[in-house]
Chains A and B, each alone.
Chain A
Amino acid sequence: MADTATPAQVETGETRRDFLYLAAGAMGAVGAGAVAWPLIDSMNPSAEVLALSSTEVDLSPIAEGQRITVTWRGSPVFIDHRTADQITQAEDVAVATLPDPESDADRVQRSEWLVVIGVCTHLGCVPLGQKTGQNRGEFGGWFCPCHGSHYDTSGRIRRGPAPTNLPVPPYEFTGDTTIVIG
């Protein structure tokens, strides 16, 4: 044990010391990582922020053609009671031609109710179109004034710098006219 390198080891230049050096270094790196992780992770959303993450919405007061905004996890969620016209518009698009191809059916649970997160996928502005009289863009959905993104009646990006469609949050119909988002 007291011997250091055997002649063979000397030839390849590897010694027990090199091995110990590497092993200790690797352990040190793992240790540093293990210490760093809690520090980094402390900045991630905390338990009480995560706990606040579902919102119940009563849909009954929303008339056809009307849109309302609710808050879910600090972001606006657009709920659109779509008219028959708007639904056909959304369904009659050749999906393959879209910047972010997705069919309307994949984005709704019941076609008269569209639920999307009202945060522009470009840089996070809230698109216009929720209030009557606001610019709804060229495709009748929403228009983001920040850098000019147009969304259609399915909340899909049609023109402008936004890369993807308005995301659909996880939600569930808990009754005929109530949904729980989150």
Chain B
Amino acid sequence: MSGFQTNNTVIKWIEHRLPIFSFLDHSVGSGYPSPKNLSYFWNFGSLAGITLVIMIVTGVLMAMQYTAHVDHAFESVERIMRDVNYGWLLRYVHMNGAHFFFIVVYIHIFRGLYYGSYKAPRELLWMLGVVILLLMMATAFMGYVLPWGQMSFWGAKVITNLFSAIPFFGDGIVVWLWGGFSVDNPTLNRFFALHYLLPFVIVGVVILHIWALHRFGSNNPIGIDTKGPQDTIPFHPYYTVKDAFGLGAFLVVFSAVVFYLPNYMGHADNYIPANPLSTPAHIVPEWYFLPFYAILRAITFDIGIPFTGVVIIEAKLGGVIAMFGAIAVLFVLPWLDRSPVRSGRFRPIFRLFFVLLAIDVVLLGFAGAKPAEGLWLLIAQVSTAYYFLHFLVVLPLLSVFETPKPLPTSISEPVLKGGGGAMAGAPAKPMEKA
């Protein structure tokens, strides 16, 4: 299996004792055969990995300057901005890096949703991805608390208070999370400790994620399995160079924001020091949480037995369940969508609903940014309903009732026929590297 070759005696010496070079070669080198038809949507995995590294590097450097104490946190961040050499750069890269991390990961997830990358045999790969998403959310949430501005404080308060919705133990859990009777110094301290820890846990899960990926290799835009060497090209140099190009494009956009619009995606109120006695008029989470925030607030009604007044789930708990449920459905998605065809390209009706889902999530995002009342509340409620219908009803039904278009016989076929009519019968010849 090991096609790794070298003449370098030092590498040979190490390789014999710790086969790390062949391991790397199988992971991201010429020993990793990848489908030859991957589109630019397949760039976002490596981009996410690189962004994680950027976050860790800037974060560790800032941690050397940051003070996790309610009396000093805000000022220590301002000191990073004004006095620390290139501190402004570290912080703006870290702050906007978080935004771009989510942009990249959301595109990565929607890529998977469209091309059916969650289907057998990649279910665990997908579920590990959802774990990474959850960890990222926790990390970003706690990071946002660290500068101890108004949004930091009130975001922390509102979100930790969600746990008080849990019956019986709720209040005890909230006090335990806070380490006090309100969001205060103990809370800030533990959030810093966890904000430092979780990114490294993410690194661990990413390694599992890539391990699972390499078991069967990447999915691809037409979603059928590679049938042999004629369908693949070595990861290195073909995809290393493509990923590097993608990284360049990404960094152009990223730098433009870091240098010219560093506060565009943030909220101005977070430049006001936290004040536990005064709530800002309008608390909004960072944009990447908005769809979930909208779902949380869409449940404004108690759920109970009709006409009896018996309440089983209070509105507050209902909202929390719906919000976590929105991520929980992603965990079981491989078992909800039973269609054997992976790629949306061959599923005309699925494709339609996929577009609807994308619009739905964007609508939820807008609704999450507005006060939960009137028309926006209605939009949030309808969109929340559709979100769950999509996963729990539409996808299972489509797996049964949709007739997919005929699949090509191999990855090479659609390339070779050159966009013309179907080249019936002719088995694909290895003709890559034109």
Central interface residue in B157, B181, B297, by most chain A CB within 10 Å: B181
What's the Cα separation between A126 and B274 when bound, in Å? 13
* CB-defined contacts of A75 to chain B, threshold 8 Å: 181-182, 276
The 0/1 profile, CB within 8 Å of B marked 1, for residues 35-63 of chain A is 00000100111100100010000000000
Residues of B close to A161: CB separation below 8 A: 300, 315-316
Is A122's beta carbon under 8 Å from chain B? yes
Would you call B180 and A49 a contact (CB within 8 A)?
Answer: yes
Interface size grouping (class) on chain B: 20 to 34
A-side contacts of B180, CB under 8 Å: 45, 49, 73-74
Distance in angstroms between the alpha carbons of A73 and B182 in the assembled complex: 7
Asked if A125 is at the interface (CB within 8 A of a chain B CB), the reply is yes
One of B99-107, B119-127, B220-228, B277-285 at the interface:
B277-285
Contact B158 A125 (CB under 8 A): yes
Within A123-149, which residues are at the interface with B (CB < 8 Å)?
123-126, 145-148
> Does B176 sit at the interface, judged by CB under 8 A?
yes
Q: Select one of B157, B314, B315, B371 contacting A124, CB under 8 A.
A: B157
User: Which of B161, B181, B184, B314 sits near A123, CB closer than 8 Å?
Assistant: B161
> CB of B208 within 8 A of chain A?
no
Shortest A13–chain B CB gap in Å is: 36
Q: Are A43 and B158 in contact, CB atoms less than 8 angstroms apart?
A: no
Measured CB to CB, the closest approach of chain A to B190, in angstroms, equals 7
Question: Is the beta-carbon distance between B316 and A45 smaller than 8 angstroms?
Answer: no
> Cα distance A145–B300 when bound, in Å?
15
A69 interfacial contact with B, CB 8 Å: yes
A122 to B316 alpha-carbon distance, docked (Å) = 7
Interface flag for B396 (CB, 8 Å): no
Q: Is the interface of B mostly helix, strand, loop or mixed?
A: loop
Interface code B368-386, partner A: CB below 8 Å = 1, 0 otherwise?
0001110000000000000
Q: Assess whether B278 is in contact with A124, with CB atoms less than 8 Å apart.
A: no
Known contacts A123-B158, A125-B154; A145 and B279 CB within 8 A of each other: yes
Chain B residues numbered 191-241 whose CB sits less than 8 Å from any CB in chain A: none
**Residue pair A126, B277 in contact (C-beta under 8 Å):** yes
Q: Is the CB of A76 within 8 A of B276?
A: yes
A74 partner, pick from B154, B160, B182, B190, beta carbons under 8 A: B182
Q: Determine whether the beta carbon of A45 is less than 8 Å from that of B279.
A: no
A103 CA to B38 CA, complexed, in Å: 68
The contact string, 1 if C-beta is below 8 Å from chain A, for chain B 81-107, is: 000000000000000000000000000
Residues of B within 8 A of A73 (CB): 180-182
CB pair A45–B179 under 8 Å, yes or no, is: yes
The verdict on A9 contacting chain B, using a C-beta distance below 8 Å, is: no
Given contacts A74-B276, A126-B277, contact A44 B176 (CB under 8 A): yes
Residues 7-51 (chain B) with a chain A CB within 8 angstroms:
none
Minimum CB–CB distance from A161 to chain B (whole Å) comes to: 6
Which residues of A have CB within 8 Å of B316?
A: 122-123, 161, 163
Q: Are B278 and A126 in contact (CB under 8 A)?
A: yes
List of B residues within 8 angstroms of A40 by Cβ: 176
A43 touches B181 (CB 8 A): no
**Chain B residues with Cβ under 8 A from A147's Cβ?**
297, 372
Quote the shortest CB–CB distance from A118 to chain B (angstroms).
8
- In the bound complex, residues from chain B placing their C-beta under 8 Å from that of A126 are 276-279
Q: With the chains together, A74 CA to B180 CA distance in Å? A: 8
Interface string of B263-307 (1 = CB under 8 A from A): 000000000000011110111000000000000010010000000
B414 at the interface (CB under 8 A from A): no
Digitize A54-88: 1 where CB-to-B-CB distance is under 8 Å, 0 elsewhere.
00000000000000010101111000000000000
Q: Identify 27 residue pairs between A and B in the complex whose beta-carbon atoms are under 8 Å apart, listed by A's number.
A: A43-B177, A43-B179, A43-B190, A45-B181, A46-B179, A74-B183, A75-B181, A75-B182, A75-B276, A76-B276, A119-B182, A123-B157, A123-B161, A123-B162, A124-B157, A124-B158, A124-B160, A125-B158, A126-B277, A145-B279, A145-B281, A146-B279, A147-B372, A161-B300, A161-B315, A161-B316, A163-B316
Other 10 A-B pairs with CB < 8 A, given A122-B316, A126-B276, A163-B315: A44-B179, A45-B180, A45-B186, A46-B179, A73-B181, A74-B184, A123-B158, A125-B158, A145-B279, A163-B314
3 cross-chain pairs, A with B, having the tightest CB-CB distances, nearest first: A74-B182, A73-B181, A124-B161
